[in-house]
Every structure is written in structure tokens, then in C-alpha cells.
Amino acid sequence: MNAPDFGTWRRMAEAPRDGARVIVALRDSEQGPAEVDVARWARPPRADYYCWIASDSDKDCTIAYDDSELLCWMPLPASSAGLRASVQATSLPLIPPEMEIGGSGI
């Protein structure tokens, strides 16, 4: 991925599943409002499946996301200070009202 890719939201189906860290947009749910996080595709400790894991997780407290909890993704910005300064802040993508997905229906 190159630096110009930063700032462009993409569909989750296009997200890299190679362990690279990316920015993800979480859908709003009964657990909280829509927000962004940095995550990577990996296998949680003591699990036999892969999912999106927040980069600030640790082996005792894994924060994992299913594909259905995520709206879209974008690459992380380049580490070059000059490039970061030239990229304008982006906002969350427009999230259309939708049916509840995978919630308890409370």
C-alpha cells in the first residue's frame, strides 16, 4: 500500500488479511456509537479462528471484531512527517440508517 491510499475508505471485502494494521470504522450498535480503531486480521490467543483484532489488545484482554461489526477500512498514513502534514483529516464515512445487525434487539 502506498501513502496516497490513506484517506480513502474502502469496503471490508477489500481489506488486507495478511496481519497488516489498518484503520477500521466500526458500525454503531447497542454497545456504543460508530467510531474508528486500528486493527489487524489475526488469530486471537487460545482460538482456532481469525478475526479483526484491535491493535491495543493484549493476550489477556483481546478486543476482537467480526466483519459484520465493521463498515469499512483505510490504510494507515505514511510515517513520513512531510506526507502526514499534507494529508487533510478525513471524517467517518456517511453511515446510512440500517437494520440492526447481529444485536440482541433490546
How many distinct structural domains can be found in the chain?
1
Q: In what order do the strands lie in the sheet with 51-54?
A: 10-11, 70-75, 22-26, 35-42, 51-54, 64-65
Residue 102 inside a domain? The answer is: no
Q: Residue 71 pLDDT more than 70?
A: yes
Residue 86 inside a domain? The answer is: no
Residue 104 inside a domain? The answer is: no
Which one-letter amino acid corresponds to residue 51?
A: C
Q: Assess contact for 105 and 31: CB atoms under 8 A.
A: no
Residue 17 inside a domain? The answer is: yes
Residue 28 inside a domain? The answer is: yes
Report pLDDT for 52. Answer: 96
Residue 11 inside a domain? The answer is: yes
Cα gap 92→89, rounded to integer Å:
10
Report pLDDT for 100. Answer: 53
Residue 54 inside a domain? The answer is: yes
Q: What does the pLDDT look like over 23-67, one tens digit per residue?
A: 999 998 888 888 999 999 999 888 899 999 999 888 788 899 999
- Give the number of residues written for the chain: 106
Residue 14 inside a domain? The answer is: yes
Domain with 70 in it: 3-76
Consecutive H or E run containing 24: strand 22-26
**Those residues with Cβ within 8 angstroms of residue 64's Cβ, 6 or more apart along the chain or in another chain:** 44, 51, 52, 53, 54, 57
